[in-house]
A = this chain, B = another copy of it.
Amino acid sequence: MKFIHSSDWHLGRQLHGESLIEQQRLALQQIAQLAVEHQVDALVIAGDIYDRSIPPAAAVTLLSDFLDEMIAEHQIPVLLTAGNHDSAERLGFAANQMKRSGLHIVGSLTAELTPILLQGKSGAAWFYPISYAEPTAVRHLLDDDSITSHEQAMAAMLAQVAAHSSEGLPKVVVAHCFLDGSSESESERPLSVGGADRISPALFTPFDYAALGHLHGPQYRAAEHVRYSGSPLKYSFSEATQRKSVTLVELKPSQPAVITLLPITAARDVRIIEGSLAELLERAKDDPHADDYLMVRLSDTHALLDPMGKLRSRYPNVLHLERTGLMTQQQDRDIGRERIKKGELEMFSDFFSQVAGELLTEAQQQHLHGLIDELHQGEDA
């Protein structure tokens, strides 16, 4: 059994108010190509398919078209589960009527897990999809008052996986959860506050592979086969240095999983660039990816006129601006305030040079000096 593990597509998501649907379409195209190229037997998506319980219609159409391509065109079965961002009920609509085509959508968690046997050219395996559910929901489902934590809820569901006879075939758990010790990104919505959502990675090690979703950075915990694929795209600037990928998994009975990360290259990367305004505007000329989604950290310590406008003339997709130069100054705030009080001449000089594109002449400086003195005398009167 050879399959691609992915998760956290968050279709319909925006980045700082910017629609990512076109980037998502391109990422999905790459995933389809990789699936065909590597002749996988299945594609597994471990939750957070959509970004919201009611996704925009364009996201619904994007996923529908993608599934059509995978299944009708490439005959590659797809298994997807609901994450904490999805509406399990909505995602699970008519799921039973899709199975025969090879589309396995698992919406609301049920008391009894439904194992799915996928048979591929590279052999068969059992998949155990566990859609995301709150511990209280699991307690209610299983009618077991002892379940109060995420860990207990997951343990109860995994007991079913352990009890199921796979007749020697590999067992793959598909779940959406937070493993203790994992690295977070800013684009994840916590499952609960104060760390109560943490689950011991050891719960998953007995199975042949755990295809996990929720965390956006690719990583594994406890063992290489207990793994987050991570999201296919960067959904926050905190992920700027992550390398996004999908996970290719090859399973043979009684052998450890063979795992390969297949990179996904965003058409528009999400990056952070730093420097002075002048440096960055200069650097843009040699930047073939100047249209990336950018967070800009400006080191300038003086006032700047419309830096966002200037940056966007060269970098059209600057989404966020940080004045790190000014922020450092904050530490010397008191000194700074004094400087501002004294420095009308300096401030006006900065302003003038930015608007006019040239420095004040000696004569202009003299004139300005006179004016400022005059104003200050007015104050004293």
Residues of A within 8 A of B (CB): 54, 57, 60-61, 63-64, 67-68, 71-72, 87, 89-90, 92-103, 105
CA gap between A286 and B312 in the complex, in Å: 77
A-B contacts, 12 listed (Cβ < 8 Å)? A63-B93, A67-B97, A68-B97, A71-B96, A72-B96, A93-B93, A94-B103, A97-B98, A97-B101, A98-B101, A100-B100, A100-B101
* Residue among A54, A71, A100 with the highest chain B CB neighbour number at 10 A: A100
What residues on B are CB-neighbors of A90 within 8 Å? 57, 60
The closest CB in chain B to the CB of A57 belongs to: B89
Query: Nearest-CB distance from A311 to chain B (Å)?
Result: 37
Query: Are the CB atoms of A57 and B87 closer together than 8 Å?
Result: yes
CA gap between A63 and B94 in the complex, in Å: 8
What residues on B are CB-neighbors of A99 within 8 Å? 101
* Residue among A89, A97, A105 with the highest chain B CB neighbour number at 10 A: A97
Query: Are the CB atoms of A93 and B60 closer together than 8 Å?
Result: yes
What residues on B are CB-neighbors of A105 within 8 Å? 94
Q: Known contacts A101-B100, A103-B97; decide if A60 and B72 are in contact (CB<8 Å).
A: no
Query: Nearest-CB distance from A180 to chain B (Å)?
Result: 32
Query: Nearest-CB distance from A138 to chain B (Å)?
Result: 19
Query: Are the CB atoms of A64 and B101 closer together than 8 Å?
Result: no
What residues on B are CB-neighbors of A98 within 8 Å? 94, 97-98, 101
Query: Nearest-CB distance from A66 to chain B (Å)?
Result: 10
CA gap between A93 and B94 in the complex, in Å: 10
The closest CB in chain B to the CB of A87 belongs to: B57
Query: Nearest-CB distance from A271 to chain B (Å)?
Result: 33
What residues on B are CB-neighbors of A54 within 8 Å? 54
CA gap between A92 and B65 in the complex, in Å: 11
Query: Nearest-CB distance from A47 to chain B (Å)?
Result: 17
Query: Nearest-CB distance from A243 to chain B (Å)?
Result: 31
CA gap between A54 and B101 in the complex, in Å: 26
Query: Nearest-CB distance from A367 to chain B (Å)?
Result: 63
The closest CB in chain B to the CB of A89 belongs to: B57
Pairs A-B, 6 closest by C-beta atoms: A97-B101, A97-B103, A57-B89, A97-B98, A64-B93, A100-B100
The closest CB in chain B to the CB of A67 belongs to: B94
What residues on B are CB-neighbors of A97 within 8 Å? 67-68, 71-72, 98, 101-103
Query: Nearest-CB distance from A129 to chain B (Å)?
Result: 16
What residues on B are CB-neighbors of A100 within 8 Å? 100-101
What residues on B are CB-neighbors of A63 within 8 Å? 93-94
The closest CB in chain B to the CB of A103 belongs to: B97
CA gap between A68 and B98 in the complex, in Å: 11
What residues on B are CB-neighbors of A87 within 8 Å? 57
CA gap between A54 and B60 in the complex, in Å: 12
* Residue among A68, A92, A96 with the highest chain B CB neighbour number at 10 A: A96
Given contacts A67-B97, A71-B96, list 18 more A-B pairs with CB under 8 A: A57-B89, A60-B93, A63-B93, A63-B94, A64-B92, A64-B93, A67-B94, A68-B96, A71-B97, A94-B103, A94-B105, A96-B101, A97-B98, A97-B102, A97-B103, A98-B101, A99-B101, A101-B101
